[in-house]
Amino acid sequence: MDSLPPASTTALLRAALADRIVGVLLGSALGDTIGLYTEFLSAAAALESYPSRSFTLVPPGPTPPKFDLHRASKPPAHWTDDTDHALLLLLAFLHTADTESETPPALPTQTVLAERLRVWVQQGLRPLETMPLGLGRLVGSVVATKGFEETPEAIAREHWEKTGKKAAPNGSLMRTHPLGLMCLWREEKEAFTLAADISRVTHVDPRCVAACVVGTALVRALVRGDVVGEETLDGVVQRGREWVVAQGEELDAEELDRHLQCSSLAELKLDESTSVGYVYKCLGSGILLLRLAMRKMAGSGGSLLVRSRLFEELVTDLVMCGGDADTNACFAGALLGAHLGYGALPDHWNHGLRHEEWLLSKAESLCQVLGLKEGRYVGQEDKDTRPDGGKPHISQAEMEGRWMVLQAEVAKQIEEHAKANATKIKGKGSSWTASLPWKDRTKR
């Protein structure tokens, strides 16, 4: 296993690889952030809410979101739990890194992620002091089960079996992209194994495992430059699915192909109410956008102008389909960022993103750890990488106080919105508080 790039890697190639790595991390966060605008809306409602089909995060923006309970609690221009969970993995990897050591950073284990998920569920993303908004039913149930931190896969499997082995939500795929970066200089099969293990911390369904294996391998291959067109893309997908089957997992090949080989986003029916959040929809939409980007770049002869517009155009097309838009765009944004690079991300999204500089600093640290940028980095000295973010423990009472403050802020927004629109908001008592976003357990 190599932990650093080959000695023959040129400075120009290192810079290109670093640009793609930053593209993955920022691209996924941007997709997540823009996707929140239409999350859980139908395509028709998305178009009615945003008829211009355009979004901005910089002044005079950010674009005002559709007002509803789901969006009212979330700060504008901020990513959601999807990116939070991906960052748990990235920070765990960086925590063990030391650029002056010959020992490579440790890949995150199941118990490491389980510990960090438990902290997130209870206290949010500690380095940034953000709330744990968006917790899904599956993750919430599994993480809350006694023994999760010690044997997470066993707990997740028990939950899957008890619930009929039917659910295959996208909550593990949304966090998988940093794994492809960690495995940049490792063998492809090692990336497969890591992706499967990390998926099974919460999601053991074979469809979830397969999606994570394929997604992780694609991010790795795209950044390395191993995927240069659809033929090589299909090669990575095929090797990933064959590896999953070889591990004894059962996959419906016809169903998987139907999602991987679709020719339009409409075919995926992303806003179909009975299957919002289905992992194959997320996987299929991300791969389709990657194919479309490759085709448009090839058709333009590599035009820099086309390249500079592709990310925004494709992500906007995706989020306007509604459904689980933030997760779909988070995964697709990682793939597009890996293919197009950070330089192709729209400035009016990048520079309005909350915590942009913080995320860029972590991306730079990762590039240093992977030997693509000069500089010393020691994870033990970076408090952000600790499970508690280097912050004092938040008691349950204090956390409940924070929820009450947030609830009051949402209630105030509802009142102001009602006055501004001269409409009456029904059920401002216990009936509406029971349906507030942090009580939602319908996804992931």
Tell me: is residue 81 an annotated ligand-binding position: yes
* HEC assignment per residue over 259-308: HHCCCCHHHHCCCCCCCCCEHHHHHHHHHHHHHHHHHHHHHCCCCHHHHH
Residues 397, 114: Cα–Cα separation, whole Å: 23
Q: How many CA atoms lie within 13 A of 23 on its CB side?
A: 27
Q: Which two tokens stand for residue 275?
A: 């299957």
Tokens in use for 49? 């809410």
Q: Is 324 annotated as a binding residue?
A: yes
Q: What is the DSSP string of 180-249?
A: HHHTTTS-HHHHHHHHHHHHTTT--SHHHHHHHHHHHHHHHHHHHT---SHHHHHHHHHHHHHHHHHTT-
Look at the block and give the residue holding tokens 């090692």. Answer: 190
CB 354, CB 78: distance < 8 Å: yes
- Cα distance from N-terminal residue to C-terminal residue, the chain: 34
327 is in an annotated binding site: yes
Answer whether 444's CB lies under 8 Å from 140's CB: no
What pairs with residue 98 in β-bridges? Answer: 378
**Residue (of 86, 444, 85) closest to 278 by Cα position:** 444
Contact 394, 404 (CB under 8 A): no
Is 226 annotated to bind a ligand? Reply is no
Contact 56, 352 (CB under 8 A): yes
Tokens matching residue 183: 């495995």
Tokens 């939500």 found at? 169
Give the pair of three-digit tokens for residue 350.
């990048």
Cα Rg of the chain, angstroms: 21
Q: For residue 82, say whether it is annotated as part of any ligand binding site.
A: yes
Residue 131: name the closest of 419, 422, 400, 412 by CA: 400
Alpha carbons 407 and 150: distance in angstroms, whole number: 33
Give the annotated binding-site residues for Mg(2+): 80-82, 324, 326-327
Give the annotated binding-site residues: 80-82, 324, 326-327
